[in-house]
Amino acid sequence: MGLLDGKVAFITGAASGIGKAAAVRFAREGAKVAIADTDDNDGEKARAEIERAGGEAIYVHCDVSDAKQVKQAIDRTASHFARLDIVFANAGINGVWAPLTS
């Protein structure tokens, strides 16, 4: 029994890096995972990796800088899995590099 059995997780930036690692771990803990990213190729690879390991995942194309795409991706996730329990907002939008203090 996993920590997240029966839960559905939506993870942005999940095609690589920290987001992918989180998606793989969430799936290992029993969550069904929506991999949301703009990199369709790596997103599908991450989905396939989770499924090869026995998990359940979908890939949804999602640019987090576009509110309409975010809503569509969340709606597709909730529709596909009939629920949504966890949102891991991992993806970031590059802005201006500046020091935290002035």
Whether 51 is covered by a domain: the verdict is yes
pLDDT at 92: 75
Which residues lie below 8 Å from residue 21, measured CB to CB, with a gap of 6+?
none
Blockwise average pLDDT, block size 10, the chain, 102 residues: 94 96 98 98 98 98 94 97 97 67 61
Whether 97 is covered by a domain: the verdict is no
pLDDT at 73: 97
Q: How big is the chain, counted in residues?
A: 102
What predicted TM-score, i.e. pTM, was given to this entire model? 0.89
pLDDT at 1: 74
Strand partners, 92: none
**Which residue range(s) make up the domain with 44?**
8-88
Whether 37 is covered by a domain: the verdict is yes
Whether 31 is covered by a domain: the verdict is yes
Q: Which CATH number characterizes residue 69's domain?
A: 3.40.50.720
Cα 80 to Cα 2: distance, rounded to the nearest angstrom: 21
Number of domains in the chain: 1
